Structure 1
């Protein structure tokens, strides 16, 4: 007897369906549905609420944390200029982290039930529904969890006085990334740099998902050979 391939019912909560796609998941998730109406993720209303985040929540929550981290470094002996230098260094490190996470974590290939399910929650949902404005930025709880290993990395990389400001720079880079990402999908980029960035990013969504992993910058795509062919942009 021939087994029929699994079909996702878009009228039902999606999260616990996508895992059944198996090897077909990667192709399915990269066939975008362009609609501002986001799908239902969970049957449970509380779980569903946790998946939805307004873009302005990101700076509201994290910019005070950035200021607090910089103040800790100053309290531990850094001069304002040294703290600013550490902050800028953290932003630079973030640009590489942004590229690395997007390329290797957010675009990892999965085929198992739980692998597909977790990938869909992490990034696959954004590729399937790229105009869903409430699931474009990271919920603060998810960001806090991801911050733990990143903070450990920054702490090992630098001294106790430098680490807070350096990490604060990384966090500031993240805030700029998430807000920029939202703008590229929902802002009115009509000319200049914003239009170029928008075209570059939407090329990643609708033409070549294996290229163009940078959001705030294309520098690391150029360095690591994932810059898309000019004619495809």
Structure 2
């Protein structure tokens, strides 16, 4: 007797359904539904509230936090130029963290019930509904959970006066990343650089999800060999 495949009912809350897909989850989640209306995640209205975040919440919450960290390095007596350089170092470090998180955490392969469920909440929902504007940026609570181990690592590596400036730069890099990510999906760029970034990122969503993990820059894709191969004529015809 052949086991019947589980079918997700898009008219019902999705989070506790997707785990039942098992090995079929990866194919399902990378078959996007292009609609500006996002799905319902939970039956509970209270839980549902925490899954929706407007893009402007990100700079509103995190720029003051980053500024506070940077100010601690200033108060410790570091020269302004040194603080500025450390902030830029933090922004650069973020670009590597952005790539690493996107490639190895956000695109981890899962097939268990809870693995699928957690992946869907973390990043799968964005690939399934890439135009859902309220599930595109990271909710502050989720971002704080990811930021905590990064802060602990920075404190371990850096001196007490240096660590806050570096971490503040990492937070500013994160803000730039999430706002850029939102713009690449919902903005209409006119100049060449943002046009190129938009094309690069949408290629990751709609053609080759295992390539093109950089959002703000393809730098680390070039370093680690994950730049998407050019589209062949055969690919274009099939599309």
Corresponding residue number in structure 2 for 1:148: 148
Measured in 2, the distance between the counterparts of 1:231 and 1:186 equals 24
Corresponding residue number in structure 2 for 1:163: 163
**RMSD between superposed Cα atoms in Å:** 1.0
TM-score, normalised relative to structure 2: 0.96
Corresponding residue number in structure 2 for 1:224: 224
Measured in 2, the distance between the counterparts of 1:203 and 1:195 equals 12
Contiguous gaps of at least 5 residues in structure 2: none
Q: How does 1:100-119 map to 2 (within 5 A)?
A: 100-119=100-119
1:145-177 deviations in whole A, cap 9, x for unaligned?
A: 111101011111210000001000000000000
2:199 is equivalent to residue 193 of structure 1: no
Measured in 2, the distance between the counterparts of 1:214 and 1:3 equals 39
Corresponding residue number in structure 1 for 2:205: 205
Cα deviation for residue 3 of structure 1 reads: 1.6
Cα deviation for residue 37 of structure 1 reads: 0.3
Measured in 2, the distance between the counterparts of 1:82 and 1:128 equals 43
Moved more, 142-151 or 187-196: 187-196
Measured in 1, the distance between the counterparts of 2:159 and 2:91 equals 17
Moved more, 211-220 or 66-75: 66-75
Cα deviation for residue 231 of structure 1 reads: 3.2
Measured in 2, the distance between the counterparts of 1:126 and 1:189 equals 21
What SS does the corresponding residue of 1:230 show, helix, strand or coil? coil
What SS does the corresponding residue of 2:231 show, helix, strand or coil? helix
Measured in 2, the distance between the counterparts of 1:68 and 1:97 equals 21
TM-score, normalised relative to structure 1: 0.98
Corresponding residue number in structure 1 for 2:127: 127
Measured in 1, the distance between the counterparts of 2:168 and 2:67 equals 8
Aligned length: 233
